[in-house]
Structure 1
Amino acid sequence: QKYAGVDDLGDLKSATNPNDSTVVITLAQTNPTLLRALSGRLGIVYDSEASDADYAKQAVGSGPFTVGKFTPGQSLTLDYNGGYHGTKAHVGTVTFTQYSDETSLADAVSKGTIDMAAPATATVASQMNGKDGLTVTEGATTDKVLLAFNNNSDSIMSDQNVRTTFRYLIDSAGIAASQSDSSGALGGPISPLEPGYEDLTGLFPHDMSKTQTMTSYFGPYLTTVDLVVTAQWQPMAETIKQQIEQLPRPSVNLEVVSDEEYAKRIQDGTWELTLMSMNGTDDAGTFADPNSIFHYNHAEVQQAYADARAATNDADYAEKMKVYARKLSEDAASNWLYTRKCFTVASTKLSGYPTALIDQRMPLADLTVK
């Protein structure tokens, strides 16, 4: 239990290695996402001689690179591993340096202090676009931006009719089109890179006429909603506030709070609307947990997710996740706005570097330098 994300393995019954080149994993019940879990952190083969390493402070490497030096929160240096049995790296050393702000990162890549910024923000990518000696590339991610609803029983958003009203009221497509980091409107909890994706943007098109009819039904019941965000989401929150307040009711109490206060408010459930991102493959299942921060509790949706988790092959899992996602979106459990894209700014002397999902992984074995 000391390793991050170990729960993604599912109900692990045993793990054995009958010989030097085989590992046998036995589960107590099906886990259709096991292979994806093993393709990430959970699939790392640790050095048995370094099994007691404190990975919060130390780094132990294998594969095409080994760890040369690691300074937590500052830098990581990878060295060429000549003893690696697979395809060997094309470069001898790669050094990662962490930058705390956009200005410092943009300055470093502009001056050539670093050869690549990845992932770069949309702001940095825009500043570097068209500059001599640099290439700006866009890539897909599974990062989903949503206007989340607090479905707890003491929240006005626990009413399915209210949630539906808000989904018609918010111009999700317009918001998605206006964001520099958007790769397109979403409409549901699964991104195009995840199993079970279906374009659900047509379920709740922006419709002021329908919204006016629905809000008149609520009368004085729908008065004020609380929108709690951190500073990074304030511009989008202002847009959403303006869209909601096109109608006489409801009004929006927009609160911009510190990161610390935000974490406490979300955990305590003292909010009704918030803007956030979900950045993980298969994180759609969060909505099937009534104890999650969304407090969404719907027996039919939970059963649909359980059916998907019981799948024993990829095709069946994807099809059942599609059913789950549609039920979840039709019930307006939240308002999924768009999927993010990531940006890479690199020197033109570099090639072979990844451009998709770089917010999660950075395979550099194919990286070459002219």
Structure 2
Amino acid sequence: MSRHSQHSSGPMKGLAFFGAAVAVLALVAAGFSHYNHRTQNDPTMLHSGSEITVGLDGPAPESLDIRSVAGKELDQALIGNVYETLVGRDQSNKLVPSIAESWEVSKDGLNYTFTLNPDMRFANGDALDSTDVVYSLQQTIEKNFIGAQDLTGLKTVKNPDTSTVQITLNSPNPRLLRALSSRAGIIYDASANINYAKQTSGSGPFTVHNFTPGGPIVFVRNPLYWKVQAASSQMTMRYYNSEDGLQQALKTGEIQLAVLRPSDSPQPFRNDKKTNVSKGITTSKVVLALNNNPDSIFSDQRARTAVRYILDNEAIAKSQPNAAAALNGPISPLEPGYDDLSATFPHNLDEGKNDINYFGPSYIGNVTLLVPSEYTSLGQQIVEQLQATRLNPVMQVVDDDTLSQRVADGDYKMAITTMQGPNDVGAFANGVFGYQNSQAQQDYRNALASPNDIDFQNNLRAYSKSVSSDAACAWLYTESSMVVANNDVTGYPKNMTDEYLPLRDVRLK
């Protein structure tokens, strides 16, 4: 049995929910959900410390209901700030203790035992214990909250005492711990009775003080937080519809910290000596999709290989302001199973020309390159690198909806797109861009059946090598995570800020 860390606790009558696959029965002993829960007044007054306003490039949430409203905006705002998850993750996207201070996984990958931290409390004063964990998992599955799809295969969930949760699976799920560090793992207060669209009931370092749909969100320090208190007494999130708006807000002092989208350019912010541009990395990948369907030249591996040789990924990554690092496979450096595959298709123009010259001009036909407007300069660079060959693509700049529809319809030869999210890695085992490869499919099945994380990552590396060697598409680079802060602001995160923005340590010097 692999062991994350060690903790022991005495036995106590527990609570469980059972089911086949994802079906889970109702909680028993309902009175136990109130056991050891004590309610105090909800803290709303401001406390001493710095007050900081964070600006974000993107739409403001219309609701706070993270259980049912999709989109990264709520993940950014609430996870790690207002809500905490059973398992946490750090700035390297590694799994770390959170609500659970430790966990054990059996050798067959079917049994998980979580030991919770002692003396945890929600912002309203209610104690947080194993009852709340069981309740939260039950609610997510039974009510099909966002993240429920990541909890399939749960057989039983039990809490033999207030500090222990035991999960049994029908079959191994090596992605479970990572799922429990996202929405599927948010722990809600079993005793709370609130309007989740306008209110929150979390255990994080902040609580929501004021929220206007489509407007700012004001957080205040949670004085009952069970770990290190938030460094700032108040944190306000304001939303802007462009990076120009962010830049102006920084200049006027309306905000002290700006979080850019991955596709934004940091260049306009670099000339202000009063601010500092920090560049991290995300899990978002920019790729050149190649249509693998039978009526496309890229159904032939040799044509796909030609593109991989011709494109100079390193030069592309260096020239694109939103690029963190060149990429040569389906897994980014912050994701499990990453492997440096830069040697698979090193830039070799002659080799690429030889491959594409195998095909006659009539067979190649017209090669369209669909480009979203925000990636116009990238599209132009790709055209420049390919135009000396028989491919010679014609660039068409389209909006996001048109791009999605045309890719779905197969109405393209090449398209610049992004891939992101915890399940996007397996897309090449599921026919994305019309790609089919039985070896890649088997490698990915092996990964999902892995009983432990070591086997999972090894099998992912085998899968990644299969699809990269077969040139399933042309991976270009991992997008950067960019934060611009006044020089007197410290403690802000730098990686994955497009989806995970913990602000507990942010403060003025």
Distance 1:52 1:267 in 2: 40
* Structure 1 residue aligned with 2:179: 37
Distance 2:337 2:476 in 1: 18
1:340 to 456, 463, 479: 479
Using a 3 Å threshold, how does the CA distance of structure 1 residues 266 and 3 change in structure 2: closer, same or farther?
Answer: farther
Scaled by the length of structure 2, the TM-score of the pair is 0.67
* Structure 2 residue aligned with 1:158: 299
* Local SS of the residue matching 2:419: strand
Contact 2:194-2:200 within 8 A present in 1 as well: no
Which whole-Å deviations, capped at 9, do the CAs of 1:49-104 have from their partners, x for residues lacking one?
5577455x665443111122223333222121122222221222111111101111
| Equivalences for residues 101-180 of structure 1 within 5 A | 101-119=242-260, 125-129=266-270, 131-180=272-321
Which whole-Å deviations, capped at 9, do the CAs of 1:261-289 have from their partners, x for residues lacking one?
22221222222211112233452111111
Contact 1:350-1:367 within 8 A present in 2 as well: yes
The answer to which of 295-304 and 66-75 deviates more is 66-75
The answer to which of 198-207 and 321-330 deviates more is 198-207
1:189 to 330, 339, 355: 330
* Structure 2 residue aligned with 1:22: 164
Structure 2, unmatched stretches of 5+, are: 1-142
Using a 3 Å threshold, how does the CA distance of structure 1 residues 175 and 297 change in structure 2: closer, same or farther?
Answer: same
Distance 2:259 2:356 in 1: 45
Distance 1:117 1:91 in 2: 16
The answer to which of 352-361 and 98-107 deviates more is 352-361
Q: How many residues align?
A: 366
Q: Which residue identity does 2:341 align to in structure 1?
A: L
Q: Which residue identity does 2:155 align to in structure 1?
A: K
Using a 3 Å threshold, how does the CA distance of structure 1 residues 225 and 236 change in structure 2: closer, same or farther?
Answer: same
Q: Which residue identity does 1:347 align to in structure 2?
A: N
1:357 to 461, 477, 496: 496
Contact 1:285-1:305 within 8 A present in 2 as well: yes
Contact 1:74-1:97 within 8 A present in 2 as well: yes
Distance 1:124 1:109 in 2: 15
- Taking every aligned residue pair, what percent have the same amino acid on both sides? 40
Distance 2:315 2:494 in 1: 26
| Equivalences for residues 301-316 of structure 1 within 5 A | 301-316=440-455
Q: Give the structure, 1 or 2, with the largest relative contact order (CA under 8 Å, sep 6 or more).
A: 1
1:267 to 381, 401, 408: 408
Using a 3 Å threshold, how does the CA distance of structure 1 residues 156 and 72 change in structure 2: closer, same or farther?
Answer: farther
* Structure 1 residue aligned with 2:456: 317
Q: Which residue identity does 2:468 align to in structure 1?
A: S
RMSD over aligned CA atoms reads 2.2
Shift of residue 180, structure 1, vs aligned partner: 1.3
Q: Which residue identity does 1:71 align to in structure 2?
A: T
* Local SS of the residue matching 1:337: strand
Shift of residue 337, structure 1, vs aligned partner: 0.8
1:3 to 124, 142, 145: 145
1:277 to 418, 433, 438: 418
Structure (1 or 2) with the greater helix fraction: 1
1:298 lines up with 2:414 in the alignment: no
Contact 1:61-1:67 within 8 A present in 2 as well: no
Q: Which residue identity does 1:202 align to in structure 2?
A: A
Q: Which residue identity does 1:227 align to in structure 2?
A: L
Contact 1:110-1:128 within 8 A present in 2 as well: no
Distance 2:265 2:349 in 1: 36
Bigger Rg, which one: 2
Q: Which residue identity does 2:179 align to in structure 1?
A: A
